[in-house]
Amino acid sequence: LISWNERKIDFLFLGRLKFQKGADLLPEISNKLNKKINIIGKGSIFFKDSSKLIYLGEKKLDEVYTFLSNTKVLIMPSRFEGLGLVILEALRFGCNIVAFDCKYGPKDLNNVFKNIYLTKVGDIDDFSSKALIASTKKPGYIEKKKFNKYSQKEFIKQLVSEINNCNPAL
């Protein structure tokens, strides 16, 4: 795992370029951040030339993991979501996550991981402010190396264990 201070990517969007995923909001978010957002994915939303949006296209899984391991903050402006595999992948690679507080997904993991920053759905100002804060805060569990030693399969088992410890009723 690349150390926090050596990570070269401040902000990454990873997912389908669709309205549901909030991809249409990325130009406004990057303007509010006044920072570049790297984008990996495919879909129906296309971006005009922008010095702040770096569209990287689709990537193979090993390439995605390389990007995640070099990223400080995963940008997740989904308007609605299931759990979201991308959250689990980002957590595994020690990224902070900034997401809209949609009905499911990020909210469900927020009780376990304190490096998930939530904002009201559609609030670009608060989202951008939290993204800037998240880009400066090293996630605590990286220091503990809580999940870094696990394979993908073992990571999921450990994650389920952590969630069950926080929510014994599950």
pLDDT, tens digit, 9 for 90 and up, residues 50-105: 788 999 999 999 999 999 999 999 999 999 877 778 888 898 888 999 999 887 77
What gap in Å lies between CA 88 and CA 95, rounded to an integer? 10
Residue of 50, 30, 19, 44 whose CA lies nearest to 124: 30
Q: What is the pLDDT of residues 3-44, one digit of tens each?
A: 888 999 999 999 999 999 999 999 999 999 999 999 999 988
- When pLDDT is averaged across residues 143-153 and rounded to a whole number, the result is 51
At position 134, the amino acid (one-letter code) is A
Residue of 51, 83, 67 whose CA lies nearest to 13: 67
Question: Higher confidence at residue 122 or residue 46?
Answer: 122
Strand partners of residue 54: 38
Report pTM.
Answer: 0.82
- When pLDDT is averaged across residues 142-165 and rounded to a whole number, the result is 57
Question: Higher confidence at residue 48 or residue 39?
Answer: 39
